[in-house]
Amino acid sequence: MTIYTENHPYHYEMENLVRLFFPNEKITVTGESNEINDTRYIITALKENGEKLNISAELHLDDYISSNSVDITPSENDREKEAEREMAVVLYKLLSEYTGKIQPWGILTGVRPIKLFRSLCEKNGKEYAEEYFMEKLLVSKEKTLLSSVTEQYERKILSYSRNDSFSLYISIPFCPSRCSYCSFVSQTIEKAQKLVQPYFELLCREIEYTGRIVKELGLHLESVYIGGGTPTTLSALQLSELIEKLRSCFDISECREFTVEAGRPDTIDEEKLLAIRNGGVDRISINPQTLNDSVLEVIGRKHNSSQILQAYSLARDIGFTHINMDLIAGLPTDTVDSFRSTIDRICELYPESITVHTLALKRSSRMTLQGKNVDADNENCSAAAMLRYGEKKLTECGYHPYYLYRQSRMEGNLENVGWSRDGFDGIYNVFVMDETHTIIGCGAGAVTKLKVPGSTSLSRIFNYKYPYEYINGFDEMLKRKDQVKQFYDELS
């Protein structure tokens, strides 16, 4: 399929919108439609007539032909924004009519709908934001209300941040095995065992170097997140040394949250959990994804549901008072009934927070490479039914949504939502998704995001992705960290 874009710059937005309805079709975007040789194509066009704009779209899909247009007179300040939005609405209505599908998030294709909702609230209030979502962006009532509730909880967390605040992310890019849906830059321990110790030693050096820069700048640490990968692929001794290194290099005395992704239950034992707990970590994540053993096998997990429950019980016995558990809706071979059973059993455990993800198939995941397609049946797909049940059950059990984000190629064009009991919102998740303040990353694949206070401006510093690249280019890594100091020096 080809998308022709005439006299407008909204190429990326129109492509993303079309992908919502045709997620598995190859799409090409090009300019003027003077010579068309395709049998499946879409034309989007903008024509200016003084202050007026004519916006139109045409579908030519094999033997199907349909068109739609609208004339608008936007204000000068909103001209570009309104032209883009109206073009998306015009095209959306054609695509919805052709496919019979209604997108739960309307024309929204961005990953941060709560950030947009908050900006609308700040401009004209909550009622205006809700109306704008439903009327102007065609977001469903259910997703609009979910956004409204989530934004209220996020706002409280965002108030913790100061102009000199930052959060710290530490990457451990190793896993016991690679899940079939995963596209993260991580390597299995079997293949990368010889890299673990040299990587660990250099990571500690990067932490030392970064700590000196942060102390010199006088930045205030709000949260620490050790993720991956699976951090608990490290030994208990390495985990102890890593946490001690962080404590010696950064002032954690006022840190609001310290998280370690314990993640995979087949990497958890008493010695490792004690190392984490004795290091002062106050939040861990044990991620079952599902409690259906056959689904665990299909997605490439090397553990069963009994090990998940044992790991959770062990963490409780050791004294962890904030345990998060991640689930995924839409996993292959999972059913709505099976997902309901998983949610019910997790709620019986009553962890402090539960994150419900929707399956998102990235191009580099094994599942995508093997030909698994995204289910694009939207509100009728099984993932949508799973999320509806999850929202109902979690609300009944006393959980509230505290953060929400979206990804491309998600089942049913849905969302990921973090749910928590009162007082247990995961603040790092909110900080990083809202881009509230600077996030400093250490380790392979980590990205440092430097935030100019009071603006939307971000500067990024990328670490090498793979452990072997990180090891071989470590001196260059340290040089890049000097950009943190340069950034703040220029602000002062």
185 has pLDDT over 60: no
Nearest to 190 by CA among 288, 268, 267: 267
Global model pTM greater than 0.85: yes
Are 347 and 231 in the same domain? yes
| 91 and 167 inside one domain | no
Q: What share of the chain is helix, strand, coil (3-state, %, to 5)?
A: 45, 25, 30
Residue 212 lies in a domain: yes
CATH code for the domain of 192: 3.80.30.20
- Tally of domains in the chain: 2
Q: At residue 113, does pLDDT exceed 70?
A: yes
Peptide bond into 229 cis (omega under 30): yes
Inside any domain, residue 83: yes
Two tokens at 73?
Answer: 């007179």
Q: What is the average pLDDT across 324-333?
A: 95
Q: Which domain holds residue 41?
A: 2-100
Q: At what angle do helices 189-217 and 236-249 cross, to 10 degrees?
A: 10
DSSP letter, residue 137: S
Is residue 201 domain-resident? Answer: yes
Cβ neighbors of 286 (< 8 A, separation 6 or more) are 262, 263, 265, 268, 308, 311, 312, 315, 323, 324, 325, 351
Is the predicted pLDDT of residue 409 greater than 70, yes or no? yes
Q: Does residue 477 sit within a domain? A: yes
Question: Does 166 fall in a domain?
Answer: yes
pLDDT at residue 76 tops 90? no
Query: Has residue 378 got a pLDDT over 80?
Result: no
Buried b (16+ CB within 10 A) or exposed e, 66-100: eebeeeeebeeeeeeebbbbbbbbbbbbbbbeebe
Q: What region, left, alpha or beta, does residue 409 occupy, with left being phi > 0 and alpha being psi -120 to 50 degrees?
A: left
Q: Do residues 297 and 322 lie in contact, with contact meaning Cβ atoms separated by under 8 Å?
A: no
Inter-axis angle of helices 141-158 and 427-434, nearest 10 = 110
Residue 112 lies in a domain: no
Tokens of 170: 């530490």
| Residue-level pLDDT at 229 | 87
Please give the structure tokens belonging to residue 325: 């558990």
Residue 181 banded pLDDT, cuts 50, 70, 90:
low
**Is 208 contained in some domain?**
yes
Question: Which residues, in sequence order, are bridge partners of residue 72?
Answer: 53
Do 297 and 439 share a structural domain? Answer: yes
pLDDT for 373 beyond 60: no
Domain assignment present for residue 115? The answer is: no
Q: How far apart are CA 326 and CA 263, in angstroms?
A: 8
pLDDT in tens, 187-197: 566 677 899 99
SS3 per residue for 50-78: CCEEEEEEEEEECCEEEEEEEEECCCCCC
How many C-alpha atoms does 253 have within 13 Å on its Cβ side? 2
How far, in Å, CA of 158 to CA of 41, rounded? 44
| Token digits of residue 203 | 């990571």
Question: Residue 364: pLDDT band by 50, 70, 90 thresholds?
Answer: very low
Give bridge partners of residue 352 from the DSSP assignment: none
Residues 425, 292 share a domain: yes
Q: How crowded is the C-beta side of 296, counted as CA atoms within 13 Å? A: 20
Q: Do 236 and 379 have their domain in common?
A: yes
Whether the per-residue pLDDT at 217 is higher than 90: the answer is yes
Query: Does one domain contain both 442 and 297?
Result: yes
Find all residues with CB under 8 Å of 162, minimum gap 6, and list them. 220, 437
Sequence-separated contacts (24+) of 189-198 with Cβ below 8 Å: 189/233, 192/467, 195/467, 195/468, 195/471, 196/233, 196/234, 198/471
**Please, which pLDDT band fits residue 344 given cuts at 50, 70 and 90?**
very high
Task: Among 191-200, 283-292, 309-318, 368-377, name the one with the lowest average pLDDT.
Answer: 368-377
CATH of the domain at 74: 3.30.160
pLDDT tens by residue, 309-326: 999 999 999 999 999 999
Question: Is there a single domain that holds both residue 272 and residue 406?
Answer: yes
pLDDT band at 363 (very low <50, low <70, confident <90, very high): low
Type of residue found at 450:
L
